């Protein structure tokens, strides 16, 4: 999203000049390290990129807590159906309260007009990375991972949710006092 510095109107990214007054448009907001989103979250680093958007590690400034912000890609902002599905994902996922599923805290809209989902930040290693580093895993460990994933998926399915993107990249392994 771009903004006219003269009239303050917003335009899509493919516009360069304000159609009303001819001023050169400026980036309304950029998702870069250190940037403050909605006066609440300071971006620390981009931690993921996918077809639908990006995920950032952020600090909730008032609480001093880490969060993950998932924001849709700018080119998808004009797809009203996609934006509606993205927001619906946040609402449904917020209802999922399970120890093996990421917790959704909020949904909001950034200064650039893009909706974003606020989630707990998971500081773990992806299953894909673990397999790449360690190779075949011992059967008891595999069974433990599968059991936890299946339990989270079962809870999601009971809420009518379908994940649609289960893969080793999207499974995070976290060390806790109770185990992995």
DSSP string spanning 137-172?
PPHHHHHHHHHHHHHHHHHHHHTT---S--SGGG-E
Q: With helix as H, strand as E and coil as C, how does 48-78 read?
A: EECCCEEEEEEEECCCCEEEEEEEECHHHCC
Q: Residue 87's closest CA among 71, 103, 73?
A: 71
Per-residue pLDDT tens for 14-73? 888 889 898 888 765 678 899 999 999 999 999 988 878 999 999 999 999 999 999 998
Confidence of residue 167 (pLDDT cuts 50, 70, 90): very high
Determine the pLDDT at residue 101: 95
- pLDDT score, position 80: 93
Residue 88 reports pLDDT greater than 80: yes
Q: Residue 13 — very low, low, confident or very high, per pLDDT cuts 50/70/90?
A: confident
- Of 165, 169, 175, 178, the catalytic one is 165
Q: For 107-149, what is each residue's pLDDT tens digit? A: 999 988 899 999 999 999 999 999 999 999 999 999 999 999 9
Separation CA 24–CA 18 (nearest Å): 6
Given a contact cutoff of 8 angstroms between Cβ atoms, the answer to whether 61 and 36 are in contact is: yes
Cβ atoms of 127 and 168 closer than 8 Å: yes
Active site residue 165: yes
């Amino acid at each position: 999203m771009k903004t006219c510095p003269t009239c303050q109107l917003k335009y899509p990214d493919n516009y360069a000049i304000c159609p009303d007054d001819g001023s050169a448009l400026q980036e309304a907001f950029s998702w870069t390290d250190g940037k403050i989103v909605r006066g609440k979250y300071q971006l620390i680093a981009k931690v993921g990129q996918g077809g639908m958007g990006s995920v950032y590690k952020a600090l909730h400034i008032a609480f001093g807590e880490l969060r993950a912000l998932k924001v849709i890609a700018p080119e998808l902002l004009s797809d009203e159906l996609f934006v509606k599905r993205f927001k619906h994902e946040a609402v449904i996922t917020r209802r999922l309260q399970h120890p093996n599923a990421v917790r959704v805290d909020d949904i909001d809209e950034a200064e650039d007009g893009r909706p974003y989902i606020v989630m707990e930040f998971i500081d773990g290693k992806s299953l894909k990375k673990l397999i790449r580093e360690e190779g075949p895993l011992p059967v008891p460990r595999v069974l433990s991972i599968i059991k936890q994933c299946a339990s989270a998926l079962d809870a999601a399915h009971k809420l009518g949710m379908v994940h649609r993107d289960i893969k080793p990249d999207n499974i995070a392994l976290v060390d806790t006092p109770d185990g992995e």
